[in-house]
A = this chain, B = another copy of it.
Amino acid sequence: MADAAANILRLNDADNVAVAISIIREGTPIPGGAKALRDVPRGHKVALSAIPAGGAVRKYGQVIGYAREDVAPGTWLHDHNVGMGEAALDYAMGEETRPVPEATEKATFRGFRRANGKVGTRNYIGVLTSVNCSTTVAAAIVDEIERSGVLRDYPNIDGIIALKQVQGCVVDNSGTIFTILRRTVWGYASNPNMGGALVVGLGCEGFQIPRLKEAYGITESETFRTMTIQEVGGTRKTVEAGVAAIREMLPVVNAVEREEVPASELILAMQCGGSDGYSGITANPALGVASDLLVAQGATTILSETPEIYGAEHLLTRRAVNRDVGEKLIQRIKWWEDYTARNLMEMNNNPSPGNKLGGLTTILEKSLGAVAKGGSAPLEAVYEYAEPVTAKGFVYMDTPGYDPVSATGQVAGGANVMCFTTGRGSAYGNKPCPSIKIATNTPIFEKMEEDMDLNAGDVLQGTSLEAKGREIFDMILRVASGERTKSEALGYGSNEFAPWHVGAVM
């Protein structure tokens, strides 16, 4: 959607502003026929049409603020002539819900259909732990299986992963800490990309494996085993027993084959990390297009990272399918305000002086940079951290903004594929969930090409967001069918399991 002049980017057909990719000199023609009335700095906004005083300023197809005065086409728009206005902070529950039309052409991918009906895009075996004390044993089991070469005999298995962790044994008066940890561990063990799992504990830890089984009604099976070091009688014997358990599991896990399944079986985790000034105008809105394409297929897409949408939750409540869904989001926001205040920290996502210099005028505009990943589909459901995601369509999961913790919650929720946008060049992968890394700008793509799966930087050179979103959608289907991502080739994914610890470490 870039202008012929190639330095003016309109992000959505409904927008009455465009973004200067590089400085727009006074007098330069802008889309719609007017000329720039003065220089517009790089990253800043220019009005495409007349906006009356009090009129909505639209970017990403959404209201980011209101004109403080009558504005002519070609006017530079920033905090001198644009403000938030009361209306911008109205939750307006469900008032802007615009259903995404069902796709006429049904897409498919080749996935692993599980006994419970879910579909995996990978077929891993996980060795999980209830506590840090059993992490070295878990790692040793995985090492021994890998070194033995036995996996070569089971070509349908993608690998075996030790999901190491440092938690599992703290005072937990409230029950919150272990509830979240149990949910996360079980979420990974039962992720559709996991063909089998072994959970190893120490024995005397606070996170008791029997309570995990009780909480989720789990019974031991051919593909789910548990053991503790104290019961088995020490490190070496537990490694032996764990290796034996995995060896028994291998033929069962290997028995599944990829088959053609509808794209509606996809559950996409969306992440951005190491963001830059281009994230919000290239990779994130392009991913938003891909999210809408998936929703049109009947699939699920998950937006997260609450601190990064804070203050702009109105963008999501407006899209909520009903009041309950909107209220649930607001409750989580209130929980965060209380949680951070108690920890002597501050929720504050307002544009910083640096953001303002870069052209971000309001908190809505800044947050839209992150929220743009979620496209335009109605918000179907709101989940707490690591809760099983069961709804179809676009959903929200409350997580911190810190990438590994956020992504761990999404994968625990059942995500079977992930897209991760980055401007600075994040290094990230997450087993068992393949992670597609999307660069927001061409220089970082070129500098870190071995780490980046896809370049969205060419949106600045004229590639349309629609075309880029379609490219991401197509890659999601290929990766879901087994194409390896860069981070999988590089071996990422065994050190990034990071369950959210809420509360004091005691």
Query: Which A positions have Cβ atoms within 8 angstroms of B?
Result: 132-137, 139-140, 164, 166, 169-171, 173-174, 202-204, 229-230, 233-237, 273-274, 307, 339-340, 342-346, 400-405, 424-429, 447-451, 490-498, 500-506
Q: Which residues of B contact A135 (CB under 8 A)?
A: 495-496
The reply to whether B132 and A503 form a contact with Cβ atoms under 8 Å apart is: no
A13 and B455 alpha carbons, distance in the complex (Å)? 75
Report chain B residues within 8 Å CB of A136: 427, 429, 490-496
* Smallest CB gap from A202: residue in B: B427
Residues from chain B with Cβ under 8 Å of A405 in the complex: 166, 505
- Shortest Cβ distance from A504 into B: residue: B343
Q: Which residues of B contact A273 (CB under 8 A)?
A: 133
Q: How far is the CA of A367 from the CA of B404 in the complex (A)?
A: 38
Task: Write the nearest CB–CB distance from A131 to chain B, whole angstroms.
Answer: 9
Closest CB in chain B relative to A355 CB, distance in Å: 15
Interfacial chain B residues near A342, Cβ < 8 Å: 342-344, 504
A345-B491 CB under 8 A given contacts A203-B425, A506-B307: no
In addition to A166-B405, A234-B427, A502-B505, 12 A-B residue pairs with Cβ atoms within 8 Å of each other are: A136-B493, A136-B495, A136-B496, A170-B402, A203-B424, A204-B424, A235-B448, A342-B342, A342-B504, A343-B503, A345-B506, A500-B505
Residue of B nearest to A162 (CB): B495
In the bound complex, what is the Cα–Cα distance between A346 and B504 (angstroms)?
10
Nearest-neighbour CB distance to chain B for A2, whole angstroms, equals: 27
- Check B345 against A490 for contact (C-beta < 8 Å): no
CB pair B235 A490 closer than 8 Å = yes
Chain B nearest Cβ from A165, distance in angstroms: 8
Known contacts A164-B164, A166-B166, A235-B490; is-contact A400 B506 (Cβ 8 Å) = yes
Q: Can you show 23 pairs from A to B with CB atoms below 8 A apart?
A: A132-B403, A132-B404, A132-B495, A132-B498, A136-B490, A136-B491, A137-B427, A174-B344, A202-B274, A203-B425, A204-B274, A233-B447, A234-B450, A235-B450, A235-B451, A235-B492, A340-B504, A342-B343, A342-B344, A342-B504, A343-B503, A402-B506, A502-B505
Query: Which of A139, A448, A449, A503 counts the most B-chain CB atoms under 10 A from its CB?
Result: A448
A133–B427 CB distance below 8 A: yes
Contact status A345-B171, CB under 8 Å: yes
- Expressed in whole angstroms, the Cα–Cα distance for A403 and B205 within the complex equals 11
Please give, as numbers and ranges, the residues of chain B lying within 8 Å of A132 by CB-CB distance. 403-404, 495-496, 498
